[in-house]
A and B are shown apart, each in its own frame.
Chain A
Amino acid sequence: MLNGDVIFGLASIVFSLLFILSSLGFENRTTDGSPGAGFFPILIGSILLIMGVAFAVSGFKTKKHYFEMNEEVKKNLKIFFLTIAAIIGYLMIWKWISFVVATFAFLIGLNYIYKQSLKFNLIFSSVASLLVYVIFEKIFHVLFIL
């Protein structure tokens, strides 16, 4: 019953309702009658709400699925989620250790996930971390401090 289009349609309905309900607290008209802060969000949100309903209804009829599972996709999904976990991990460790070390660890982790050889991994991670440090911190004076 719940396929990709229905889920997206429902998500659009929730998304637009959030904006519409929040906008009800704003003025829709100012004292001189001109459109207020809530006017545009309510207008666009209402149109999106109607489209979301139409899309969800058409999704019930077409029953289109976008995520078909096969062996190759299952293997790729593991790498997919590990990549996202690595990115989140990188942002977390960056707060506690120096940027260059965090970047090096991140790249080591990513190349490990992508099954690169140890030699390549070490060389690539070292060179890339160093390049990023030199270009961004030394030349562009970006402070990578969280």
Chain B
Amino acid sequence: MEWINTLLSILQPNILIYLIVGVAVGAIIGALPGLSATMGIAILTPLTFWFTPEQGFAMLLGLWNSAIWAGSISAILINTPGTPASIATTFDGYNMYKRGQGGLALGINVVYSVIGGLFSTIVLIFASFPLAKLAIKFGPPEYFALALFGLSMMISVSGNSILKGLMVGFAGLLVSTIGIDPLLAMPRFTLGNGNLLDGISFIPVMIGMFGLGEVLYQIYHNSKIKEDEERQKVKNLKLGRVLINAKEFIRLLPSTIMSCITSVIIGAIPACGGDIASIICWGQAKRMSKKPEEFERGSIEGLASSCTANNGVIGGVMTTMLTLGIPGDAVSAVLIGSLMMYGMQPGPRLFIENKPFIMNIMCLMIMANIVILILGLVTTKLTAKVLAVKKEIVWASVILLCIIGSFALNNSLFDVIIMIISGVLGFFFKKMDFAPGPFILGLLLGNMVESNLRRSLIMSQGSISIFFTKPITLVLLIFIMLSLIMPIIKKRKQKEVSVS
């Protein structure tokens, strides 16, 4: 009954309109290569400051789900993933387009993204409340280990070098110490500047690194020849039918179910995002398939499994984010910032203090997927035209939105300056193969890591044995060590294999 009332409260025009706007904006952002869901949410978050939490999250969740779905559009039509999660879509989607089945590929993208999204939302609804009840028993040692676990997972999967990831993550932790000490309330590293008393605001840094930084990188690497070639690709080929038939639907059922379950589990693990999930699910679908030779040549099974996985991770990511307050990827890191903007702290307490809002979020996720299904199928062939938008228009628009958005947060020029510095830093990070994710997470989780570490040491009167005597903490610390050591061992083995 409670859920029905919540669903009915969401179906109000003043919330639905924001959801539809979010889905539409997300479709444009997702379809355009170079713009990511993270960038879209980072830029739109300050705009939602004036909305109610339900309206703001309707827009942001609509954008997130839609951008992930739409990222596969450019993957199918021009072999360039619109978002990192769509990498696996290029394996089969583009080949389907080349043989005149572009419409079918786009239709599969819509339908199976929605199936993945809805399944993961149902898991979120059933799993998050019991998990929150468990997490409420967590104390400072558990929260310290959890925050460190989230950071270590992000480091281990980002980029080619663990050392680079660690350096960037620790730099983020160090920057998070600027401002007021969380336990003693004394200023640190403020240089007498009142603007720094609140610390380095997370949202302008996000907007700078993922918005301005990305634009600067695209400007630096702009190639007129490549752009004209891509535009030509979209013009030339026909799209054909959009919907799958009943026979194809039944054939795709086993791999779809597998992708749904796998992607939700992967999404729940911090730092394992859509790109990892879609590649793993694509590989699994190939192993399960009766026609594995079709994969990488335009297999509808391959395409459906990767599209399901892309959106299937979202519910898993949300489960970890809402119940434990640990972001699973860069997008959820920004959403945590959005929640904080509304005065809410993600974690088990949120399920007690703001239960109606949590239920609203879950219903919004369901509605977002339904809106994507309707909008996606109706505008399938139209969304292909989004790729014809010139890069220069996107650059100018994004730069303006970055400046306006970061100023509008606190009416502060200081935030704009932080955004610009972060943008330049983001450009250098990207150019020198440093993933910005660990820096953002370090900045976001730094306070949680420090305050829980110090509280734990106060509880144990300075003894570090507290981290090894609590079972959950010990398990998490072992996972942290494994997440950092395993990639190094794997890399060494790969080197040995290539040398031999």
Contacts and interface: CB of A to CB of B under 8 A. Distances in A.
Interface of A: 4-5, 8, 12, 15-16, 19, 22-23, 26, 30, 33-37, 39-41, 44-45, 47-48, 51-52, 54-55, 58, 66-67, 72-73, 76-77, 79-80, 83-84, 87-88, 90-91, 103, 106-107, 110-111, 114-116, 124, 128, 132, 136, 139-144, 146
Contact of B170 (A47, A90, A91): A47
| A-B complex: 6 closest residue pairs judged by Cβ atoms | A114-B392, A34-B458, A37-B181, A40-B450, A48-B170, A35-B454
Contacts, number: 132
9 contacts: A12-B167, A34-B454, A34-B462, A35-B457, A37-B188, A44-B174, A51-B163, A51-B170, A55-B164
B404 interface: yes
Interface stretch (B30-38, B89-97, B216-224, B483-491): B216-224
Max chain B C-beta neighbours (<10 A), residue from A44, A114, A132:
A44
A116 B222 contact: no
B253 interface: no
Contacts of B47: 140
A142 B454 contact: no
B399 A40 contact: no
Contact of B219 (A41, A66, A83, A87): A83
A33 B174 contact: no
Interface in B405-422: 407-408, 411, 413, 416, 420
Interface in B152-184: 163-164, 166-167, 170-171, 173-174, 177, 181, 183-184
Given A15-B171, A34-B454, A55-B163, A128 B424 contact: no
A114 B397 CA distance: 12
Contacts of A66: 431-433
A51 B219 contact: no
Max chain A C-beta neighbours (<10 A), residue from B49, B396, B404, B433:
B396
Given A30-B184, A66-B432, A132 B404 contact: yes
Contact of B189 (A22, A136, A143): A22
B129 interface: no
B257 interface: no
Nearest to A145: B411
Interface residues of B, number: 52
Contact of A90 (B173, B403, B431): B403
Contacts of A30: 184
Interface string B389-407: 0001101110110011001
Given A55-B167, A140-B47, A140-B50, A19 B174 contact: yes
Contacts of A8: 432, 434
A128 B181 CA distance: 42
A72 B167 contact: no
B293 to A, nearest CB: 40
A51 B431 CA distance: 20
Contacts of B379: none
Interface string B104-138: 00000000000000000000000000000000000
B177 A19 contact: yes
A67 B221 CA distance: 11
A130 B432 CA distance: 38
B392 A111 contact: yes
Given A19-B174, A132-B404, A142-B411, A41 B50 contact: no
Contact of A19 (B49, B189, B396, B404): B189
Contacts of B392: 111, 114-116
A87 B403 contact: yes
Interface of B: 47, 49-50, 163-164, 166-167, 170-171, 173-174, 177, 181, 183-184, 186, 188-189, 215-216, 219-223, 392-393, 395-397, 399-400, 403-404, 407-408, 411, 413, 416, 420, 424, 431-434, 450, 453-454, 457-458, 461-462
Given A45-B174, A72-B223, A34 B431 contact: no
B174 A15 contact: yes
A140 B177 CA distance: 32
Contacts of A22: 188-189
Nearest to B413: A146
Contacts of A114: 392, 395-396
A37 B221 CA distance: 43
Contact of A76 (B166, B219, B393, B400): B219
Contact of A107 (B164, B215, B216, B400): B400
Given A73-B220, A80-B220, A44 B431 contact: no
A41 B173 CA distance: 8
B171 A124 contact: no
A140 B55 CA distance: 14
Nearest to B390: A116
A32 B173 CA distance: 26
B171 A12 contact: yes
Contacts of B433: 66
Contacts of A44: 170, 173-174, 177
B338 to A, nearest CB: 16
Contacts of A23: 188
Contacts of A103: 400
B174 A91 contact: no
B146 to A, nearest CB: 17
Nearest to A94: B413
Given A37-B184, A83-B219, A91-B413, A136 B408 contact: yes
B171 A41 contact: no
Given A26-B188, A37-B186, A52 B167 contact: yes
